[in-house]
Amino acid sequence: MPANSSRNSIPFEPGQKKKKKQKKAPETVKTSVKTPEKRKKSANDASLSAIPDAVSKRMIKRMAIFSGIPTGLGMSSFFVFYWIVSHDWLDIPTSAVGAVSLGLFGLGVLGLTYGIFSSSWDEHRVGGWWGWQEFTQNLGRTVQAWRNARQEAKKN
């Protein structure tokens, strides 16, 4: 990444991009045996792009909260509406039951995304409870990465 870049890098993002290899015409079929040094180097390269354990646990916890609660309410809404209708307390149309449960399931899907983006991507910083500041920062990083990828695709 250039030093004059205006984009904030993700804490676990690799520092430099890999260069594309030029395609060669196939000469002969070669069988390669990886030496332990090559295996260790490739494992280290993979660890640079992997999400740290603390960050992934934070994301999973937030996804469970922000997605699990609306999804649980969506599933329990069927039973609640059935109980209300079976006791003749209210006459609820089936379209209302479908709309409420669909809305709650939709909130559950949005909760998955919000859970990922609202967690702090910095391994050593926990972030806020609601995570709004982290959400705006991480969404900005993602949009900027999409723009950069689109610009690079246009160049090539």
The pLDDT profile of the chain, 156 residues, written as one tens digit per residue, is 555 555 666 666 666 665 656 666 655 555 555 566 655 655 555 556 688 999 999 999 999 999 999 999 999 999 999 999 999 999 999 999 999 999 999 999 999 999 999 999 988 888 888 999 999 999 999 999 999 999 999 988
- At residue 126, the pLDDT reads 87
- At residue 34, the pLDDT reads 58
Report the phi/psi class of residue 88: left, alpha or beta, with left for phi > 0 and alpha for psi in -120 to 50: left
Q: Are 120 and 61 in contact (CB under 8 A)?
A: no
- At residue 50, the pLDDT reads 85
Q: Rounded to an integer, what distance in angstroms lies between the CA atom of residue 55 and that of residue 11?
A: 10
Whole-prediction pTM value? 0.64
- At residue 145, the pLDDT reads 95
Q: Rounded to an integer, what distance in angstroms lies between the CA atom of residue 70 and that of residue 63?
A: 11
Q: Are 107 and 70 in contact (CB under 8 A)?
A: yes
